[in-house]
Amino acid sequence: MFWYDHDLSGWGWFAMSASMILFWALIITAAVLLFRAVNRPHEHTAHTPAAPTPEHILGDRFARGEIDEDEYRRRLNALHAGSFTKP
């Protein structure tokens, strides 16, 4: 069967065994990394919510009933009247 001396020497068997182990290690590593990438929770860094504006906070307080309509309108007018400067 091996008419032209195609028999593997000891180093040939070692190289073949080492390359087989390396091949399967690469396949398993790629599978684990792919599994982790797919199951990782998605981070939406581009869609981070902006800080709420003072009008939004005031509207939330009015919606929860913490302040009445008169106080809401008074504070809203104070916000729209201009910024206060520190002395």
d(CA 26, CA 11): 22
Contact 54, 79 (CB under 8 A): yes
pTM: 0.41
Q: How far apart are CA 70 and CA 26, in angstroms?
A: 69
CB atoms within 10 A of CB 61: 14
Q: Write out the chain's pLDDT in tens, 87 residues.
A: 455 666 667 777 888 899 999 999 999 999 999 999 988 877 665 666 678 888 999 999 999 999 999 999 999 998 888 765 554
